[in-house]
């Protein structure tokens, strides 16, 4: 009787596994509304068969083994930790979302594609232009954001804006470099660079903004409360939909290496009216809207 | 009153006790409230100092956040120097999260750890700040990243000195409060107890017996009203006391009069007794004076009778021979019988005189108290009646003697018993008013059953009032003190009868008479009265 019971129990466990063939392995860094929002966007246009693994739920997850056993058509990595976990995958296409390290890995991983967290530099520069800011300070880590700064320089040159850039290799350098920007810039551009913008140094941007009366334009809504004059926030649901399109293309046979990294399609401008008013740029708000 | 006594009285006074209670309570309250204030204030000061130190350290942590992260020692030292201007600053140490000291500022004054108030605050990145990833995702990190620590030491010597000043100030305030309240309490108590003190002074005066004092009403409170009531009471007591004094004086005067009267009566009795003693001596002397010539008369009479008897035959022969002749102025035939009778009369009268004298002497001497003779009460009655007859005051009173025939003798003193009988008969005679006739009956009897001889003296006089019946036997009690009564007759009579193991009983009814009964045990041999006892009734 016991043998029969064990057999039935094992069958009940194994049968679902046999039927668990899916297209997309979703690696989610942790349970967070932002990831859920992006995942919802991913699922919005097309229903992929998927398996979701939340990495924060496990102490150690062997993604390679899961991919080898499950043979998913592609891996959707949500967040830097998920991208780090998918780092060993070389064959299975990986679409990365909400990850700051995607650009640094893209060069070495041909199976990696996705949507970056950098808005097109033209958007920021248009914003500065609307604010009538011609000398924009920018601090970055060359390895992480050098590509973007290069593009930004080119775009700025076209728009007649001088980018006063400072390179940092550690977060501690940010403070020193920020001090060097005093009197040389009339706006600060905060990049989603984990070295240039750290928890310890983020305060320094806004203190600099206060002390030198220059607006800070950042990339996330959270900084509006700290003193940012305006942010260009990425629509996370739209990120999911972008990834969904990429996934569909991959499932249709397109190689991941043929799909370049993309900028976010939809970006929202949000401003802090109080900060704008204090900084004397309330009058120029109207000029911002046409470019949104 | 000495100061010591005054102090003792003041210490025992109601005012002092109330003042003591108020003072102690006030002191207790001052100590309690002062202590509570000091403890609370010290605690508040400590909390304030701790919070201040914490606040300064937190402010420093906020200030040094970026320089510390940048490890900018210059800025850190500048911040430390600014902080050192704080009055109670002692030392400041800024460390990185790996323990390296980036800035340290210390005052040269050395303090022990107990004199320092220390706070160590972590320097963290602002919790509002987010990493780019967190900012993009929109998640909030609970705490900022640890950058380093700030340790701030404040010198507490000034705080302790301030605390000491606070304690002294609180103690001084409490003491002044106590003094002020105690003084006010004393003044209030003096005012409140004024009427009470007046009441007490009045009561103390009254305690010494001075009821003339009046307590002046000080106020209309309870003691004031009590003082008024006590004044009224004192007035009433004073009236009573004067009344008592007056009555006492009257009583003393009455007693003086009574004593004077009693004294006069006693003196009269003493005089009477003295006179009786003198009379006894006179009677004794008279008896002696009478007895001597009476003896001569008796002897002479006997001689005359003897001579006449021897001369008579001779005279008879002469008369036969010579015829009747004259002798002493009469014829012999007449004289012979007369002379014989005369000699017999002389003999009988001299014997009677002798007997009277003998009785008089015996009555006067009285004293054979120890004599235990066989006495016949009938004879005693006869002898008593002889004396009564000699007394003579019974003109219209009939005395009837009803002796019991063959009356047994009693053992005793015949003279004492005779004195008893005389007293009883005299009392009966005196009980009969002089204005009317009366009968005194003397009856002797023998109760063979009890072996007692009784003698009853009964009269039909005015009787004895019931209220004085119980006092008949008292010495010096008499209803005839004014008329010479000694008040000793019945007392002595009862004493004599009791000495003879008998009893004396009175029965009386007002206006109907009195009966006195003497009962004496008969002699053991049951002897009868002698042949000299006349058994026939005798009426005097």
Residues from chain A contacting residue B128 (CB–CB below 8 Å): 225-226
- Ramachandran category for residue B519: left, alpha or beta (phi over 0 → left; psi -120 to 50 → alpha): beta
Q: How much is the pLDDT for A189?
A: 95
Instruction: Name, of A101-115, B282-296, B347-361, the range with top average pLDDT.
Output: A101-115
CATH code of B151's domain: 3.30.450
| Binary contact (A176, B147; C-beta < 8 A) | no
pLDDT classification of B532: cutoffs 50, 70, 90 = very low
Task: Tell me if chain B has a CB within 8 Å of the CB of A139.
Answer: no
Kindly report, residue by residue over B403-427, the tens digit of the pLDDT.
999 899 999 888 788 889 988 998 8
In degrees, rounded to 5, the angle at the alpha carbon of residue A68 between the alpha carbons of residues A45 and A112 is: 50
Domain boundary residue among B192, B216, B231? B192
Residue pair B335/B327 in contact (Cβ under 8 Å)? The answer is yes
Beta bridge partners of residue A217, listed in sequence order: A189, A230
pLDDT of B241 strictly over 80: yes
Q: How far apart are CA B175 and CA B30, in angstroms?
A: 7
| Binary contact (A175, B69; C-beta < 8 A) | yes
Q: How far apart are CA B220 and CA B11, in angstroms?
A: 26
pLDDT of A54 strictly over 90: yes
Residue B451 falls within a domain, yes or no? yes
CATH code of B435's domain: 3.30.565.10
Residue B97 falls within a domain, yes or no? yes
Q: How far apart are CA B198 and CA A152, in angstroms?
A: 110
Smallest CA–CA distance from B139 into chain A, residue? A32
User: What does R_g of chain B's alpha carbons equal in angstroms?
Assistant: 66
DSSP one-letter code for B536: S
| Binary contact (A175, B125; C-beta < 8 A) | no
Q: Which of B132, B137, B145 sits opposite A34 (nearest CB)?
A: B137
Q: Which domains does chain A have, with CATH numbers?
A: 2-116+236-265 (3.40.50.2300), 121-218 (3.40.50.2300)
Q: How far apart are CA A267 and CA A279, in angstroms?
A: 24
| The total number of residues written for chain A in this structure | 292
Residue pair B189/B13 in contact (Cβ under 8 Å)? The answer is no
Residue B496 falls within a domain, yes or no? yes
Q: Could you tell me what percentage of chain B is helix, strand and coil, using 3-state DSSP and rounding each to the nearest 5?
A: 60, 15, 25
Residues from chain A contacting residue B66 (CB–CB below 8 Å): 175, 200-201, 203-204, 207
Beta-carbon contacts of B10 under 8 Å, excluding residues fewer than 6 positions away, are B16
Question: Rounded to the nearest 10 degrees, what angle do helices A121-130 and A142-159 cross at?
Answer: 50
Q: How much is the pLDDT for B484?
A: 66
DSSP one-letter code for B114: G
Task: Tell me if chain A has a CB within 8 Å of the CB of B260.
Answer: no
User: What does R_g of chain A's alpha carbons equal in angstroms?
Assistant: 22
H/E element, A267 = strand A267-271
pLDDT of A83 strictly over 70: yes
Query: What total of structural domains would you count in chain B?
Result: 2
Report residue B210 CA to chain centroid gap: 24
CA distance B121 to chain A (A): 17
Residue B100 falls within a domain, yes or no? yes
Mapped onto helix, strand or coil, the DSSP state of residue B497 is helix
Residue B228 falls within a domain, yes or no? no
Closest CA to B466 of B511, B503, B436, B433: B511
Beta-carbon contacts of A290 under 8 Å, excluding residues fewer than 6 positions away, are none
Average pLDDT estimate for B143-149: 83
Residue pair A215/A281 in contact (Cβ under 8 Å)? The answer is yes
Residue B486 falls within a domain, yes or no? yes
Q: Which of B70, B139, B145 sits opposite A34 (nearest CB)?
A: B139
Residue B202 falls within a domain, yes or no? no
Residue pair A163/A180 in contact (Cβ under 8 Å)? The answer is no
Considering only residues B194 and B460, tell me which one the structure prediction assigns the higher pLDDT.
B460
Kindly report, residue by residue over B285-325, the tens digit of the pLDDT.
787 788 888 888 888 888 888 888 888 888 888 888 888 88
Residues from chain A contacting residue B135 (CB–CB below 8 Å): 192, 197, 218-223
**Domain enclosing residue B72, as ranges:** 3-127+141-192
Q: How much is the pLDDT for B391?
A: 64
pLDDT of B518 strictly over 60: yes
Residue B313 falls within a domain, yes or no? no
Closest CA to B66 of A167, A174, A210, A204: A204
């Amino acid at each position: 009787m016991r043998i029969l019971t064990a057999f039935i129990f094992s069958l009940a466990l194994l049968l679902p596994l046999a039927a668990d063939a899916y297209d997309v392995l979703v690696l989610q860094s942790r349970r967070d509304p932002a990831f859920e929002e992006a995942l919802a966007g991913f699922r919005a246009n097309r229903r992929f068969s998927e398996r979701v693994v939340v990495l924060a739920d496990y102490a150690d997850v062997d993604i390679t083994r899961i991919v080898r056993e499950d043979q998913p058509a592609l891996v959707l990595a949500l967040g830097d930790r998920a991208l780090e976990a998918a780092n060993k995958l070389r064959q299975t296409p990986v679409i990365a979302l909400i990850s700051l390290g995607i650009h640094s890995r893209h060069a070495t991983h041909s199976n990696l594609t996705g949507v970056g967290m950098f808005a097109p530099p033209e958007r920021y520069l248009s914003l500065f232009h609307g604010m009538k800011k011609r000398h924009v300070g920018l601090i970055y880590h060359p390895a992480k954001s050098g590509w973007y700064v290069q593009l930004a320089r080119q775009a700025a040159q076209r728009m007649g804006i001088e980018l006063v850039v400072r390179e940092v290799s550690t977060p501690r350098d940010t403070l020193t470099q920020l001090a060097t920007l005093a009197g040389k810039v009339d706006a600060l551009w905060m990049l989603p660079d984990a070295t240039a913008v750290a928890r310890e140094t983020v305060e320094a941007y806004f203190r600099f903004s206060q002390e030198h009366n220059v607006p800070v334009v950042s990339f996330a809504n959270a900084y509006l409360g700290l003193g940012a004059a305006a942010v260009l926030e990425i629509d996370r649901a739209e990120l999911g939909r972008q990834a969904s399109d990429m996934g569909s293309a991959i499932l249709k046979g397109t190689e991941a290496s043929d799909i370049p990294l993309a900028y976010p399609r939809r970006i929202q401008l949000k401003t802090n009216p109080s900060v704008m008013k204090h900084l004397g740029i309330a009058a120029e708000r109207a000029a911002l809207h046409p470019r949104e | 009153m000495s100061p010591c006594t005054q102090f003792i009285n003041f210490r025992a006074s109601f005012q002092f006790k109330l003042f003591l209670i108020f003072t102690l309570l006030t002191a207790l309250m001052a100590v309690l409230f002062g202590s509570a204030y000091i403890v609370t204030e010290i605690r508040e000061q400590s909390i304030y100092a701790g919070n201040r130190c914490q606040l300064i350290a937190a402010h420093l942590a906020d200030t040094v956040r970026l320089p510390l992260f940048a490890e900018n020692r210059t800025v850190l030292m500048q911040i430390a120097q600014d902080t050192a201007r704080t009055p109670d600053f002692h030392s400041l140490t800024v460390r990185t999260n790996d323990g390296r000291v980036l800035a340290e500022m210390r005052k040269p004054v050395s303090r022990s750890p107990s004199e320092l108030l220390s706070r160590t605050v972590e320097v963290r990145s602002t919790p509002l700040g987010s990493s780019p990833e967190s900012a993009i995702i929109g998640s909030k990190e609970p705490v900022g990243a640890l950058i380093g620590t700030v340790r701030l030491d404040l010198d507490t010597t000034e705080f302790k000195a301030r605390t000491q000043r606070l304690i002294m100030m609180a103690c001084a305030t409490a003491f002044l409060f106590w003094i002020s309240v105690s003084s006010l309490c004393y003044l209030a108590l003096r005012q409140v107890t004024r009427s009470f003190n007046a009441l007490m002074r009045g009561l103390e005066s009254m305690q010494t017996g001075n009821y003339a004092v009046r307590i002046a009403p000080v106020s209309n409170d309870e003691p004031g009203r009590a003082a008024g009531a006590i004044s009224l009471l004192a007035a009433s007591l004073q009236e009573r006391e004067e009344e008592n004094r007056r009555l006492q004086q009257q009583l003393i005067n009455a007693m003086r009069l009574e004593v004077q009267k009693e004294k006069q009566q006693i003196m009269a009795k003493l005089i009477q007794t003295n006179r009786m003693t003198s009379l006894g001596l006179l009677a004794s002397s008279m008896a002696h004076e009478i007895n001597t010539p009476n003896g001569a008369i008796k002897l002479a009479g006997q001689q005359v009778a003897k001579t006449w008897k021897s001369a008579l035959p001779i005279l008879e022969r002469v008369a036969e021979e010579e015829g009747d002749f004259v002798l002493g102025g009469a014829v012999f035939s007449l004289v012979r019988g007369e002379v014989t009778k005369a000699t017999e009369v002389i003999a009988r009268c001299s014997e009677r005189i002798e007997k009277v004298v003998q009785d008089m002497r015996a009555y006067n001497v009285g004293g054979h108290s120890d004599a235990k003779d066989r006495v016949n009460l009938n004879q005693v009655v006869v002898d008593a009646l002889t004396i009564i007859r000699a007394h003579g005051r019974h003109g219209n009173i009939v005395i009837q003697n009803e002796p019991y025939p063959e009356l047994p003798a009693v053992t005793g003193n015949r003279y004492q018993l005779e004195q008893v009988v005389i007293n009883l008969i005299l009392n009966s005679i005196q009980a009969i008013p002089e204005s009317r006739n009366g009968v005194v009956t003397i009856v002797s009897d023998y109760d063979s059953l009890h072996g007692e001889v009784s003698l009853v003296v009964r009269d039909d006089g005015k009787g004895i009032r019931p209220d004085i019946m119980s006092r008949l036997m008292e010495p010096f009690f008499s209803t005839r003190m004014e008329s010479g009564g000694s008040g000793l007759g019945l007392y002595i009579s009862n004493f004599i009868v009791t000495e003879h193991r008998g009893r004396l009983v009175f029965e009386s009814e007002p206006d109907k008479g009195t009966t006195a009964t003497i009962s004496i045990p008969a002699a053991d041999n049951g002897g009868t009265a002698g042949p000299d006892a006349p058994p026939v009734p005798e009426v005097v």
